[in-house]
């Protein structure tokens, strides 16, 4: 295992088919929390425990508050230098595909070409109807998606009451903090399907136990299996602990790919471990990617 930028750059240069498996660490320096480790708690809830159909059935109000908060944070965040570097690689390389587990929309806002980006776990800005009888799927960027999900202003902060401060300047309550009171939300306050007007809308993300979109699975399968060889897979800012995403690392290896891991923590290497032939670049993806991709 090496951390030699020159040998990586030479391999990148000669690579004909390249994959990148992307995770939450890519957006960490844009200020968005990861799922596991420090920052993986939303109030008292493990973030992954809210990402299940069971959690939504049990308490749709709480789950919508979690997702509405994340939509708000993602819209306020900016793509960082790693999103931009990957988008540039995607624009200039004819056979590059990014497999993103992220739902925050930052790669799209960095102008990553849509045909070279597969969203494995959906998007915070997709919504779908939960009614068995309705097939509505749509996009929705309205923040908040329903008035009751608006994040309250911090009334104890002087800017809130100061008429000279614009709306944007005013400080909001940090509802991710368990010490801050969460406004009560009932099912009647939650967004309804615009098509059938009856079913509750839910976030268009892939929760545990749900299948990834078949269109996405087919596109990834074609990229990996329609050719004899993959030259390189970059594994960026992900714990590579969620399937089927994590299995793409081994699939690419089986097609001959060399593996380059870019991660803030050396302990978070892909499940099968690293080979002598792999690279590991330890640190912030937003700093490392622009350096190794230039």
Q: Which residue is nearest to ligand BJW (CB)?
A: 25
Minimum gap (Å) between residue 33 Cβ and ligand BJW: 8
Residue 79: which region, alpha, beta or left (left: phi > 0; alpha: psi -120 to 50)? beta
Q: Where are the beta strands (DSSP E) in the chain?
A: 18-22, 41-42, 45-46, 96-100, 117-119, 122-129, 137-139, 201-205, 232-236, 258-263, 279-282
Sole residue written with tokens 């020159």: 6
117 marked as part of a ligand binding site: no
134 marked as part of a ligand binding site: yes
**121 given a catalytic annotation:** yes
Minimum gap (Å) between residue 2 Cβ and ligand BJW: 18
Minimum gap (Å) between residue 241 Cβ and ligand BJW: 6
Give the DSSP letter of residue 68.
H
Closer by beta carbon to ligand BJW, 182 or else 264: 264
**Residues with Cβ within 8 Å of residue 273, at least 6 apart in sequence:** none
Closer by beta carbon to ligand BJW, 82 or else 232: 82
* Residues 199/118, Cβ–Cβ less than 8 Å: no
Closer by beta carbon to ligand BJW, 17 or else 248: 248
Q: What are phi and psi of 66, to 5 degrees?
A: -60, -50
Rg (C-alpha) for the chain, rounded Å, is 20
Residue ranges that bind ligand BJW, judged by CB under 6 A: 23-25, 28-29, 34-36, 48, 51, 101, 103, 121, 205-211, 237-239, 241-244, 263-265, 268, 284-285
Q: Which of 72, 83, 112, 121 is catalytic?
A: 121
Closer by beta carbon to ligand BJW, 24 or else 148: 24
129 marked as part of a ligand binding site: yes
Q: Which amino acids are annotated as binding site for Zn(2+), given as ranges?
A: 129, 134, 193, 196
Catalytic residue annotation: 121
């Amino acid at each position: 295992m090496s951390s030699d930028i020159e040998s990586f750059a030479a391999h990148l240069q000669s690579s004909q088919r390249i994959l990148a498996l992307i995770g939450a660490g890519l957006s960490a320096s844009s200020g968005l929390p990861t799922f596991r480790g420090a920052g993986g708690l939303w109030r008292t809830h493990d973030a992954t425990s809210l990402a299940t159909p069971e959690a939504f059935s049990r308490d749709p109000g709480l789950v919508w508050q979690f997702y509405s908060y994340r939509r708000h944070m993602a819209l306020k965040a900016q793509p960082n230098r790693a999103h931009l570097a990957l988008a540039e690689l995607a624009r200039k390389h004819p056979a590059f595909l990014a497999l993103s587990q992220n739902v925050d929309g930052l790669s799209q806002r960095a102008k990553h070409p849509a045909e070279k980006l597969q969203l494995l776990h959906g998007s915070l800005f997709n919504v779908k109807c939960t009614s068995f009888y309705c097939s509505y799927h749509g996009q929705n960027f309205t923040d908040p998606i329903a008035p009751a999900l608006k994040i309250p202003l911090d009334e104890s902060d002087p800017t809130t009451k100061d008429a000279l401060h614009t709306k944007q300047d005013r400080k909001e309550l940090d509802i991710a903090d368990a010490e801050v009171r969460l406004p009560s939300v009932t099912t009647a306050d939650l967004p309804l399907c615009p098509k059938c007007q009856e079913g509750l809308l839910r976030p268009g993300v892939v929760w545990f136990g749900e299948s990834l979109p078949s269109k996405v699975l087919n596109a990834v399968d074609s990229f990996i299996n329609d050719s004899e060889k993959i030259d390189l897979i970059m594994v960026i800012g992900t714990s590579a602990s969620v399937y089927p995403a994590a299995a793409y690392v081994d699939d690419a290896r089986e097609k001959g790919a060399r593996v380059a891991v870019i991660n803030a923590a050396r302990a978070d290497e892909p499940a099968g471990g690293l080979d002598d032939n792999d690279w590991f670049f330890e640190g912030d993806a937003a700093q490392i990617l622009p350096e190794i991709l230039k």
